[in-house]
Amino acid sequence: MGAAMRRIQVGSALSSFGVGFTVPFLYVYVAEVRGLGAGAAGIVLAAFAMAALVVLPFTGRAIDRRGPVPVLVVATMVAAVGAVGLGIAGGRTTAILSAAVLGAGTAVIQPALATMIVWTSTPGTRTRAFAMQFFLQNLGLGIGGLIGGQIVDESRPSSFTLLFGIEAVMFLVLAAVVGFVRMPYAPTIGGAVPKGGSGTGGGGLRALFQHRAMVQLCVLGFVLFFACYGQFESGLSAYGVEAAGISPSTLGIALAANTAMIVVAQFAVLKFVERRRRSRVIAAVGLVWAVAWLAAGYAGVGHGSQAMATAAFISTYALFGLGESMLSPTVAPLVADLAPAGMVGQYNSAFALVKQLALAVGPAVGGPMGAALHGPYIVTFVLFSLGITFLAVRLGRHLSPVQDQPSLAKSRIVAEGGAPVEPVPAAASA
């Protein structure tokens, strides 16, 4: 990695470390520590999500016009203000407004970081760059959550104020670390406009909606996030408690197994992914997750012992982690490689919006099903997982060879409007 990429990765990891301090405890903090009740806590979480949906449609154009660095710096400052506001919020209105500010800031940070990674990488190095970001972010979240769990004390609101203060500081550290990074021009793949795409002509959302491959990737992305991430803390956990008799402590172990799988498998999986077509890798993730849901089905509606049910349920989360480690070096760089010149920010923001929609709809649909309709819940998400495989194979037909398998791009990277150039690692520094 060049110096610019190193600073981006370090800043991203540190901000995730700060977020890990507060994410597991937000509901408890609002509902119990501040005494605002479950209803207020639900509104706070909804405000966090809705703010993201409001700002993301405007984020991409700002990134492409102003550059990702100034947009990221502003977003981190907004997020820091929201975090401090939540830490001192004593009333419902303050908590809701602070959550909205925090949600808006954090929503903008991710596509800005993704665009910075694209600009400081080449199509040949992009796969590893996004895999490294995913690895470090999960590591940061896990370590932050572990340390935060040792600090919190429900009888002392000041302990939660400290957690939100640490989160705010980490956002500012992110701004300081990457705020002076000098962005190089990122080479793009020559002749990479796929069949049915609109790589030329028009701009903004119109061009994106005319880009068949990107539209298909957004549909695929919605199903991916709906069938996995949208179920982690809602439908799947409710199903585990109600159908499989899983205790809250075991849920924590299952989540730890998910993180451990990502940390252990990420770079071993990366070697496998780099040599294969992206569409086939995503299709394989659908099959892995189908097996994961079948394991969850055995845990809840099978007739084995409680020990077997517990093992199967933990295996479900571990298998999800394996799939996630296959997706991290695949989907995000594919979004970047689909983007025409000058629209990387808009493509990243559009995909982030799709992800946010899936994370909003997933719990609303999966929560009630997981708690009460155990058999239909498992069947539904096995089918969704197989749908991922179908959609991925279909997407592959609309990708150019170099987009589907980046290793083929080694001799086909061109500067905008220029002749082919050799791909070299970005080495720009602050």
pLDDT of amino acid 137:
86
Partnered with residue 414 across adjacent β-strands are 188, 420
pLDDT of amino acid 1:
62
pLDDT in tens, the chain (430 residues): 678 888 889 988 898 888 888 877 777 788 878 888 877 877 887 888 888 888 888 888 888 888 888 999 999 999 999 999 998 888 889 999 999 999 999 989 988 998 888 888 877 788 888 888 888 888 888 788 778 878 877 788 888 899 899 999 999 999 998 887 777 654 444 444 444 444 444 456 677 788 888 899 999 999 998 888 878 767 887 888 788 787 766 777 887 788 888 888 888 888 888 788 889 999 999 999 999 999 988 888 777 788 888 888 889 989 998 998 888 888 888 888 888 877 888 888 888 888 888 888 887 787 788 878 888 889 999 999 999 999 999 998 888 888 887 766 654 444 333 434 444 443 333 3
pLDDT of amino acid 32:
79
Contact 313, 254 (CB under 8 A): yes
Q: Under DSSP, is residue 393 helix (H, G, I), strand (E, B) or coil?
A: helix
Count the neighbouring beta carbons within 10 Å of the beta carbon of residue 414: 15
Contact 326, 269 (CB under 8 A): yes
What's the whole-model pTM score?
0.77
pLDDT of amino acid 409:
60
Q: Rounded to whole angstroms, what are the CA distances from 403 to 284, 302, 309, 398?
A: 18, 42, 41, 10
Q: Under DSSP, is residue 131 helix (H, G, I), strand (E, B) or coil?
A: helix
The DSSP symbol for 406 reads G
The amino acid present at 328, given as its one-letter code, is S
pLDDT of amino acid 416:
39
Pairing outcome for strands 413-414 and 420-421: antiparallel
pLDDT of amino acid 220:
93
Q: Exposed/middle/buried for 10, CB within 10 Å: 0-12, 13-18, 19+?
A: middle
Contact 395, 266 (CB under 8 A): no
Query: What's the half-sphere exposure (Cβ side, CA atoms, 13 Å) at 235?
Result: 29
pLDDT of amino acid 223:
92
pLDDT of amino acid 415:
39
Cα–Cα distance measured from residue 127 to residue 136, given in angstroms and rounded to the nearest whole number: 14
The DSSP symbol for 182 reads P
pLDDT of amino acid 402:
81
